[in-house]
Structure 1
Amino acid sequence: MTSTATVTAGTTRRWTILALGVLAQAAQAVLVNGTAFLIPTLHEQSGMSLAQAGTLASAPVFGVVFGLVAWGAVADRHGERIVLAVGPALAAVATAAAAFAASAGATSGALAVLLALAGAAASSANSASGRVVVGWFPPDRRGLAMGIRQMSIPLGVALAAMTIPVVARDHGVGWALAFPAAACAIAAVACAIGIADPPRPERGDAEAQGLLGNPYRGSTVLQRIHAASVLLVVPQYVVWTYALVWLVTERGWAESAAGLVVTAAQFLGAASRVAVGVWSDRVGSRMRPLRIVTVAVVVSMAALALAGLTAGPVAIVLLVVASVTTVSPNGLAFTAVAEVAGPYWGGRALGIQNTAQFVAAAAVGPAFGALIGTVGFGAAFAISAAVPALAIPVVPNEHRKNPDTESRP
């Protein structure tokens, strides 16, 4: 018989590990997404074009692309704890080196290399923190748990929006990079102390149960989720990368005021991820909510494109709405991928999921920077609304869950 104390201890551990997963992913977001808030300083004080500044700010994203699957494979083989301890520690070292290099007047090329290395190390949080949450939570609470885990990304962006642009403006890019370096260092220490790998079958038992088989064979469910997620990440990164720039350069806002708007939008976006996760738990489906949210993304970005032509406050309201809707789908897709792939393929599948997304995200900075410079923000927002429209028919009707993810202690 399981005692009340044992159940309580297990529940406490589960939520503690979720909190640490949130911390690790938030630190990653501060680094990888926070560099976008250097763009106004790079553009206005360093004389870079928007395309050049966007390319440098996307360097951590390029690094993430090369680290995700490798970290996922390590997590599949050796567990999540080592990945969540070592990866953020390496990211802290690389980011600190980038901060010193920026303060010393290093070239943009050298700075880009260091930021790319930092992004590759920080990508450990993407695969491992998702795996550890799915491993510790039962299916009927997993949407909520993954929604909370996924809210760490907009929360990290919000923290970056409050600090990085102001520090960069007043003290330079080097000091601005000290914040993500510290965040990654704190996450590394906390995860090394508090993370525990979730229970899973021994490899021999898993092989007998068919859990070691490649989930990409015999079904296109994972491929379709990956494809839809790639299309959905484009408007998300357009808003993340250029909302602050739009407010500062087009609307004449101060960096501090623009940062507050972006911060508020990110907090609301974080709450939306939890809400759609709970929604998916209640309806017993990840895909039906995902399709509905995809439609909302298309509508909100199209509305923003039209409102961007006006000078009134409606455009600011719609910017916030678009910021919220564009971040909402991630948790649903992420949870579904982990459920389909199972405990011995989850790290690699989540790595593939995020790699595909970050390849698209890495292209958003330079591509839309050049596009905005040519046709303006309104037309760029309209184009970013057309991309997720292609995802609506791609979302699978339903997905098959791996048997081992159907229950958890």
Structure 2
Amino acid sequence: MNQDRMHRSWLMLGIGTAGQTASTTVLYGLPFLIPAFQRKFGLSLAEAGLLVSCPILGILVSLLGWGLVADRYGERLALAAGLLPAAVVLAVAAQADEVRTLGALLVLAGATGSSVISASGRLVIGWFPPDRRGVAMGVRQASQPLGTGLAAAVLPPIAAAAGPGAALLCCAGLCALAGVAVAVFAVDPPRPARPPQGRVAAPYRGAYLWRLHVVAALLCVPQFVVTGFALVFLIEARGWSPGTAGTVLAAANLAGAGVRLLAGWWSDRVGSRVRPMRLLALATAVDLGLLALGAAWHSPIGTGALLLAAGLTVSTNGLHNTAVAEYAGPLWAGRVLGVHGVGQHSAIVLVPPLMGSLIARHGYPPAFAAAAAVPLLAAAVIPAQRPAATWTVEA
């Protein structure tokens, strides 16, 4: 890879990561506003969980479309056309005084902001060769724990001081800044010409992609159990203040970003995305088991396991996203990443309300025990071998 291309690759990685980080604050960071939403609207834990899952519903209805836009018209257009409208929608949502109106606007924010899930992955994969792609996607995927950590550190104190509307305005500002950066600086990666007939066969022959879609969906469940209820657990079950809990969880999510980078580096070194994925899934199951036991016994082990889970539960995201995009190739990656994301968000859209209901009735230990069983199933479904990647990048 020549020097100019290398510099451009890292610039595109920075832009894609910034866009994903900004959108993550609203797509996945709203659980940190559950106490604020409960105070403002008088919601139960299950009702507040349903409200903060509204952006996930928006992702479900739009993700395939954004993948098609990225494949047909390029990553830059898809990213800017999602992030900038998301900023406008969030600014309007910040003024909402009725919970149904807010929920509808959060669905729309998820639908627009989800463009980053397909398009930023394409932007990164398209600019890096296979032997650097794991690390590059690790950086890009680190944007989710970075965005979640940012939300944990910033949104609760803003909401405590000025209400949840002010916190949503903060999210709107971040999306606006990222959208402008994409519009001004992003460059689509080179891609091969379409064949003369203009049609490329879908990469779904065999079970490899389908199994990875299922694995990704399963691994998102424990991730969102931890993300959705870590703050509430530390406040209710451990007696921490919201500010302290948010700060500690922000640090734990930063560690999670580092875990994703290490996982990507590991996969580059061993030449496989699936082997590290299986081992990390098993480690996640063990840690969540300790979390369930620690919660049941009111032991400090539970608190330590929860903070470790903030990193472990997100450790595999870059690996399975890289695996499916590589196998799909440059002409199908956007749509395949869209299918991949739809599967994940279909699995997690009901996690906040269902787990909120389970916790309200039976406490935290059963919820954490259920979450521990899911990565065990995922480890059994992960494919044993990785077919040769079909996406290559010229030096």
Q: Pick the TM interval, shorter chain.
A: over 0.9
2:75 maps to which of 64, 76, 80: 80
Cα distance in 1, alignment partners of residues 90 and 377 from structure 2: 36
Counterpart selection for 2:245 from 249, 258, 263? 258
* Mapping 1:104-115, distance limit 5 Å: 105=97, 107-115=98-106
How has the CA–CA distance of structure 1 residues 245 and 8 changed in structure 2, closer, same or farther, with 3 Å as cutoff? Answer: same
Counterpart among 311, 332, 351 of residue 338 in structure 2: 351
1:323 is aligned to: 310
- CA distance in 2 between counterparts of 1:356 and 1:247 reads 30
**Residue correspondence of structure 1 range 100-249 to structure 2 within 5 A:** 100-101=95-96, 105=97, 107-204=98-195, 212-216=200-204, 218-249=205-236
Hey, what's the Cα distance between the residues in 2 that align with 1:264 and 1:315?
17
Relative distance call for 1:159 and 1:280 in structure 2 (3 A) is same
Counterpart CA distance in 2 for 1:331 and 1:145 is 9
Measure the CA separation in 1 of the matches of 2:146 and 2:358. Answer: 28
Deviation at 1:46, TM superposition (A): 3.4
TM-score (ref. length: structure 2): 0.97
Deviations 1:222-273 (A, max 9, x none): 0000001111100000000000011112212111000011101100100000
Q: Does the 8 Å CA contact 1:62/1:362 hold for their aligned counterparts?
A: yes
One-letter amino acid matched to 1:320: L
8 Å contact kept, 1:135–1:408: no
Does the CA-based 8 Å contact 2:126-2:393 persist in structure 1? no
Which residue matches 1:374?
361
Q: CA deviation at 1:57?
A: 0.8
For 2:213 and 2:290, locate their aligned partners in 1 and report how far apart those are by CA, in whole Å.
26
> Once the 2 structures are TM-superposed, how far is the Cα of residue 406 of structure 1 from its aligned partner?
2.9
Which residue matches 1:71?
Answer: 66
Matching of residue 58 in structure 1 with residue 53 in structure 2: yes
Deviations 1:291-321, CA, capped at 9 Å, x for gaps = 1111011111111000112334322211111
Counterpart-to-counterpart distance in 1, 2:94 and 2:267: 41
2:393 aligned partner: 407
Compute the displacement of 1:112 (Å).
Answer: 0.3
- Aligned partners of 2:294 and 2:300 also within 8 Å: no
Deviation at 1:111, TM superposition (A): 0.3
Query: Given residue 354 of structure 1, which amino acid in structure 2 is its aligned partner?
Result: G
8 Å CA contact 2:127–2:393 kept in 1: the answer is: no
**8 Å contact 2:290–2:301 — kept in the other structure?**
no
What count of residue pairs does the alignment treat as equivalent? 395
Structure 1: runs of 5 or more not aligned: 1-5
Provide the rounded CA distance (Å) in 2 between the counterparts of 1:100 and 1:408: 49
Question: How far apart are the structure 2 equivalents of 1:371 and 1:312?
Answer: 21
Check the 8 A contact 1:42/1:48 in 2, yes or no. yes
**How far off is 1:379 after superposition?**
1.0
Q: Which amino acid aligns with 1:10?
A: R
1:276 matched residue in structure 2:
263
- Establish whether residue 361 from structure 1 lines up as the match of residue 357 from structure 2: no
| Structure 1 residue 81, shift from structure 2 partner | 0.7
Secondary structure in 1 matching 2:349: helix
Which residue of 14, 20, 23 corresponds with 2:18? 23
Shift in Å, 1:205: 6.5
User: What is residue 43 of structure 1 aligned with on the other side?
Assistant: 38
State the one-letter code of the partner of 2:200: L
Deviation per residue, 1:15-60 (Å, 9 max, x gap) = 0000000001001101111211110122345321100000001111
Match of 1:309, SS? helix
CA distance in 2, matches of 1:115, 1:387: 28
Q: Distance in 1 between matches of 2:104 and 2:40?
A: 21
> Within 5 Å, which residues of 2 pair with 1:89-104?
89-101=84-96
Change (3 A) 1:304 1:188: same
Taking structure 1 as the reference length, the TM-score comes to 0.94
Q: Percent identity?
A: 46
- For 1:398 and 1:192, how far apart are their aligned partners in 2? 39
> Quick one: which amino acid aligns to residue 315 of structure 1?
G
